[in-house]
């Protein structure tokens, strides 16, 4: 009787020990998984924050440079002229860029911006009549033209409709290096004072 009881007792204790061991093992695995999951979520959220910040910085640095406005003037027929860039290029050229917005009540065809010179009549509705004036150096620079009198500038083919904004560019001979500021003139628009920069 004592041997049987001892055997049964041992079997019962062994079963309890195994059961307890299994319970602890399962609990340990489960707890570790939760901790790992929590760490993973924390790591993910913190790295996500860094990525978002990086994306924000990237978006900030990728902003179009055209957001920079060197000058803005309002004038004839509800037009708004903006100059966004005036950079010296290799070869002694100066490229001026910007936008024109038609704030008037009808389409604008840029006839008065073409200029009065006979040679410029072939340029149609364009910005060919624009010029740069260096008031300190007392010099005037006209838009460059090819051998047939066509300007190195934008032609507003079909005009600019009411409420629309279009880009334009014009190339001039570059003023001397010591000249850092000029006035941009076109049509009956007020002069726009712009600062020159070096090309990249």
CA distance 200 to 194: 18
Q: Residue 133: pLDDT band by 50, 70, 90 thresholds?
A: very high
pLDDT-above-70 percentage for the chain = 66
From 40-44, 92-96, 125-129, 131-135, the region with the lowest mean pLDDT: 40-44
Strand, helix or coil at 152?
A: coil
β-strands 79-89, 93-102: how paired?
A: antiparallel
CA distance 198 to 200: 7
Provide the 10 A C-beta neighbour count for residue 171: 17
Domain chopping of the chain, boundaries? 1-63, 66-198
Above 70 in pLDDT, residue 150? Answer: yes
The CATH number of 66-198 is 2.60.40
C-alpha distances in angstroms, 178 versus 137, 175, 181, 194? 10, 8, 9, 14
Provide the 10 A C-beta neighbour count for residue 144: 16
Above 70 in pLDDT, residue 15? Answer: no
């Amino acid at each position: 009787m004592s041997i049987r009881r001892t055997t049964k007792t041992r079997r019962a204790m062994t079963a309890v020990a195994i059961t307890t061991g299994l319970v602890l093992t399962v609990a340990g695995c489960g707890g570790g998984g939760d901790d790992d999951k929590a760490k993973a979520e924390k790591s993910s959220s913190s790295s996500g924050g860094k990525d978002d910040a990086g994306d924000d910085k990237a978006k900030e640095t990728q902003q179009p440079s055209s957001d920079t406005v060197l000058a803005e003037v309002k004038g004839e027929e509800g037009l708004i002229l903006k100059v966004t860039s005036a950079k010296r290029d290799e070869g002694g050229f100066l490229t001026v860029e910007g936008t024109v917005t038609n704030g008037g009540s009808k389409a604008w065809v840029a006839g008065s911006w073409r200029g009065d010179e006979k040679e410029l009549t072939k340029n149609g509705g364009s910005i060919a009549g624009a010029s740069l004036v260096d008031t300190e150096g007392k010099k005037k620079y006209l838009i460059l033209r090819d051998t047939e009198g066509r300007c190195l500038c934008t032609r507003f083919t079909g005009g600019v409709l009411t409420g629309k904004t279009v880009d334009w560019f014009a190339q001039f001979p570059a003023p001397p290096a010591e000249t850092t500021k000029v006035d941009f003139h076109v049509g009956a628009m007020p002069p726009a004072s712009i600062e020159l920069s070096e090309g990249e």
